[in-house]
Amino acid sequence: MKCPYCDYNETKVIDSRPTVEGQAIRRRRECINCNSRFTTYERIEEIPIIVVKKDGTRQTFNRNKLLNGIIKACEKRPVSIKTMEGIIDEIEKNLNNMFEKEITTKRIGEMVMNSLKNVDEVSYVRFASVYRQFKDINTFMDELKKILNEK
């Protein structure tokens, strides 16, 4: 590690401990040349997840956009924000574990619907109606029949 004060290339680690969030390691270092002390942080390098939209455009995965969609679907339903954030945490964990750099909105939507189906069926149908763009009442009824048949 290069000293920020004298640009010397050798330093020694004096203290090392995890940060409060546990997402990084904080290291106190001392320059061998000028004896100046400074702090560095070691973090896991995160590769951004790219979402491929229906029209082929790409954008970085945005947790807040997904949360807003789930909040809309769960509006006036007995689903806590903690549960909604738990759904997103699980989806984000699954996306990171896939080791794919790009994921389609279709796959993300299916993940959300699978989670919502287990949490609240009305929220699931609301999300599905927007996500699958139900054209008429028949497609809506088909989805409701699927839920009833699963029971």
CB-based contact 124:77 (threshold 8 Å): no
CB-based contact 113:67 (threshold 8 Å): no
Nearest Cα neighbor of 93 from 61, 69, 121 is: 61
pLDDT tens for 50-90 read 999 989 999 999 999 999 999 999 999 999 999 999 999 89
Average of per-residue pLDDT across 6-10: 95
Q: How much is the pLDDT for 125?
A: 83
> Greatest CA span in the chain, whole angstroms?
77
DSSP code of residue 17: E
Confidence category of residue 150, pLDDT binned at 50, 70, 90: confident
CB-based contact 67:84 (threshold 8 Å): yes
pLDDT tens for 82-137 read 999 999 989 988 888 887 889 999 899 989 988 998 898 888 888 887 776 666 66
How far apart, in whole angstroms, are the C-alpha atoms of residue 87 and residue 67?
9
To the question of pTM greater than 0.85 for the whole model, the response is: no
Half-sphere exposure (Cβ direction) of 102: Cα atoms closer than 13 Å? 8
Q: How much is the pLDDT for 17?
A: 93
Q: How much is the pLDDT for 136?
A: 65
pLDDT tens for 14-57 read 999 998 777 789 999 999 999 999 999 998 877 788 999 989 99
Residue 84: count other Cβ atoms within 10 Å of its Cβ.
Answer: 21
